[in-house]
Amino acid sequence: MANRPTNDFGGGKTGIAHLFAAGRYSLAGARVLANESAARHELLAFAAGLAVLRLCGAHFADYLVLSILFLILMGVEALNTSIEHIVDEVSPGKSEFARKAKDLGSLAVFVNLCAGGAYLLAVVARTFGWVEW
């Protein structure tokens, strides 16, 4: 089996030490994401979505689905942010490669936003009797 390269970020830790290191890295990533205005706007949109569910008298499952969609959105936003950081480092000037990479990351976030919006619209439609499900 080939040796895997390690880095200075805790490579080689095992067991509970690996678990704690992974938790620290995830918290560090959350701090980076919290500094992104897009992520803060998405958090506000999630809060607004929760308010819409409240006004609709939504079921627990509706809150659960919206929360899961939000968590997926945050994961995609984190990946998009990492793409942007890497592209900015690798290609500081304007390039077709950089534009395409950033556009695709943006599309991934947009698709997830559409999924959350569509779900909220479906709950509102159910509430007002426009659809049955």
Task: Just list the catalytic residues.
Answer: 77
DSSP assignment of 12-56? T--HHHHHHHHHHHHHHHHHHHHT-HHHHHHHHHHHHHHHHHHHH
CB 98 within 8 A of CB 105: no
CB 24 within 8 A of CB 15: no
Q: Please provide the distance, in angstroms rounded to a whole number, between the alpha carbons at the two ends of the chain.
A: 53
On the CB side of 67, CA atoms within 13 Å amount to: 6
